[in-house]
Amino acid sequence: MDEEILPALEDSWTAPLMKFIVNNELPEDRTQAKKINRQALMFVLLNNILYRRSFQGLLLKCLSMGEVDYVLREIHEGCCGEHLGGIALARKAMLAGFWWPSISQDSARVVRACNGCQHHSNFQHSPTTLMKPIRASCPFD
C-alpha cells in the first residue's frame, strides 16, 4: 500500500505526515521529528487521502500545492464567486472542506492578483488640497 502512496507525494508538504502515519517513519532531524509527531495527531488517512481534523470535529481534505490555485480561484471567481477578501476567502475554503498550511497567505495572494478586485476596491482618498498648519498665538491656545 505504501509504495502506491508515498512516491507521488515526495515533493508535497504532506509527505512527512504520510510517511509517519503509514510507516511510522520520522525524519532524522530531532526537531522535525517532534513537530511531525505532534502534528500527526490532527491528521487522519482515509482511502489514501489525508484529512485534517477541524476544531468542530469535521474532516478537512488536505490539498497539494498544485490543487490550491484551482480551488481558491473557483471559490473566489467561480459561478457563485463573491470576490471576497483574503480572510473571508480562507474561511470559505475551510467551510468548503479544504485545508493546507498556507491557506491565509495563498488567499491573500489570490485576492491581490485579482484584476476585478483591484479595479473595484475601495480607494484611499487623499485630501484635495494640501494641509496647512495652524499657528497658535500662545501655547495651548
pLDDT of residue 7: 43
Confidence of residue 2 (pLDDT cuts 50, 70, 90): very low
Mean pLDDT of 118-131: 71
Lowest mean pLDDT among 63-77, 94-108, 115-129: 115-129
pLDDT, one tens digit per residue, over 11-63 is 578 888 888 888 888 888 888 889 888 888 899 989 888 999 988 888 999 99
The cell numbers describing 12, all together, are: 508535497
pTM of the entire predicted model: 0.71
**Whether pLDDT at 105 is above 90:** yes
The cell numbers describing 71, all together, are: 480551488
pLDDT of residue 103: 93
Rounded Cα gap, residues 39 and 51, in angstroms: 12
- Angle between the 103-113 and 86-95 helix axes, to the nearest 10 degrees? 120
DSSP for 21-79 reads: HHH----SSHHHHHHHHHHGGGEEEETTEEEEE-TTS-EEEEPPHHHHHHHHHHHHHST
Mean pLDDT of 61-85: 87
**CB environment 59-86: b (16+ within 10 A), e (fewer):** bbbbbeeeebeebbeebbeeeeeeebeb
Torsion angles phi and psi, residue 46, rounded to 5: -130, 125
**Whether pLDDT at 82 is above 90:** no
